[in-house]
Each structure stands twice: as C-alpha cells, then as structure tokens.
Amino acid sequence: MVDKAQCCCSTEEATEEELLSRLDEVIAEYKGKPGALIPVLQMAQAIFGYLPESALKKVALGLDKSYSEVAGVVSFYAFFSTNPKGRQTIRVCLGTACYVRGGKQVLEALKSKLKIEVGEATPDRELSLEVARCFGACGLAPTMSIGEEVYKRVRPAKVGEIIEEYYKNNVSVKGAAV
C-alpha cells in the first residue's frame, strides 16, 4: 500500500514517492551551492508540511551532509518541525494572567480531549496544539484560539464543547469529530 501525504501548498493528495521526487528536484537545484542546507530544508518543509525522516535522509544524501548535521540544524531552529501540522492550530495562552487564571488547566484539558501533546497534530491532521505567551487579552483570561477565532474566559470543562463545535462547523468528513 502506498502512503499518502498532503502537500501544504496544494489541495491535491500526493504519494510520499511523489513528494520525495519534488524534493529531488530542489536538491538538484541547490547541490554544491554554499549555504544550501537551510533553504533546501525550508522547501522540503513546504513540500511535506513538516520534515519527515525520509526527507531528512534524502537531504543529507543529496547534499553530501551527515544525517546528524541535517537533524541538528532541524532541531536547532524553531521554524522547522518534524511533526505533521494540523489544518488549524489551537494556541493556549500561558502568559502570566492566563496562567494564573487557569490557562495550564485549559491546556491539560485540551491535551486530554485531543489525545495529543503540545507540538503534535490530531490523527486526522485537523488540529495542532501549541502554547502562546500572550494574546493581549489579559482581562479576558484565560484565552485560547483555533485559527483566527479567539475564545475568552475559557474553562477546562468547556474545552470539549469548543472542540466539538469546531468539528461540527469546520470539518465535513463524516465521523471525523474527536
């Protein structure tokens, strides 16, 4: 069976083989050029939506770098991700006001409801979970967002309702609700 992945820059589904072929073209364009590693990794992440191990290995081989050098660059820079991202990102504010008013408990409720950790995506690749430092809405703490939608005075007990409402209004795949 062929693994499927979705390119973040396209709505079409492509096989991993097709995505790796696109990456081969990028590597060929940059091979031998000084400073090629970071631009190639950026383009690889644009192709896959994240940096899977297969892409890191291909970049290392294609640019004549060690795997540990490539993986080291990826782990050093925060803008690279080895985890798939969801279509939308949930951010929970853990700035001072939100933290004091229960932001950490909101985060724990989300982790429990979604069955993922910070930096991961749900199995259906619909939602990713991240932490933010401040939304600038301290008087309405604790806050969280899903995409551009900001939720104020969030209580851990309401997290399930928020997620279910999101899926009801935004996900057309039957049975995809968390």
Residue 176 lies in a domain: no
Q: Is residue 83 scored above 90 in pLDDT? A: no
Predicted pLDDT of residue 11:
38
Q: For 85-96, what is the mean pLDDT? A: 94
Predicted pLDDT of residue 178:
53
Based on its alpha-carbon atoms, the radius of gyration of the chain, rounded to whole angstroms, reads: 19
Provide the residue range defining the domain that includes 58. Answer: 4-76
Which of 74-78, 92-96, 152-156 has the lowest average pLDDT? Answer: 74-78
Give the residue from 25, 51, 76 where a domain finishes: 76
Shared-domain flag, residues 99 and 144: yes
Shared-domain flag, residues 138 and 70: no
What is the rounded distance in angstroms from the CA atom of residue 43 to the CA atom of residue 22?
Answer: 10
Predicted pLDDT of residue 172:
64
Shared-domain flag, residues 93 and 165: yes
Q: Is residue 173 scored above 60 in pLDDT? A: no
Shared-domain flag, residues 138 and 95: yes
Predicted pLDDT of residue 2:
36
Contact 100, 143 (CB under 8 A): no
Residue 136 lies in a domain: yes
Residue 102 lies in a domain: yes
- Look over the chain and give the mean of its residue pLDDT values, rounded to a whole number: 89
* Closest by Cα among 62, 155, 163, 157 to 122: 163
Shared-domain flag, residues 92 and 54: no
Shared-domain flag, residues 72 and 97: no
Any idea what DSSP says for residue 87?
S
The total number of structural domains that make up the chain: 2
In which region does residue 136 sit, left (phi positive, over 0), alpha (psi from -120 to 50) or beta (all else)? Answer: left
Predicted pLDDT of residue 132:
93
Residue 127 lies in a domain: yes
Q: For 126-149, what is the mean pLDDT? A: 94
Shared-domain flag, residues 97 and 144: yes
